[in-house]
């Protein structure tokens, strides 16, 4: 449960990402339309939520920045 707040902060900084809490689960929606991805975990599963945060910050769904 400690990572849920961190996930909320990461999602709040990205307009193409939305976070939903419902029925004991957290779901993060990335993108729009048919190519939208959904990453989900139990709301108190810190390990999986940390993985979602890592994916949003450094993985497949990270913001691509040009140097």
pLDDT score at 1: 74
User: What is the number of structural domains in the chain?
Assistant: 1
18 lies in a domain? yes
Q: What residue numbers bound the domain in which 38 lies?
A: 3-58
67 lies in a domain? no
Rounded distance between C-alpha atoms, residue 60 and residue 16, angstroms:
14
- Tens-digit pLDDT profile for residues 24-40: 999 999 998 998 999 99
User: Quick check: pTM over 0.75?
Assistant: yes
64 lies in a domain? no
- Stretches where the chain sits below pLDDT 70 are none
Rounded distance between C-alpha atoms, residue 48 and residue 11, angstroms:
15
Tell me if 55 sits within 8 A of 47, measured CB to CB.
Answer: no
């Amino acid at each position: 449960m400690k990572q849920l707040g961190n996930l909320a902060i990461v999602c709040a900084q990205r307009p193409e990402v939305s976070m939903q809490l419902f029925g004991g689960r957290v779901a993060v929606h990335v993108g729009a339309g048919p190519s939208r991805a959904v990453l989900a975990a139990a709301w108190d599963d810190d390990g999986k939520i940390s993985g979602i945060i890592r994916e949003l910050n450094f993985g497949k769904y990270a913001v691509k920045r040009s140097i």
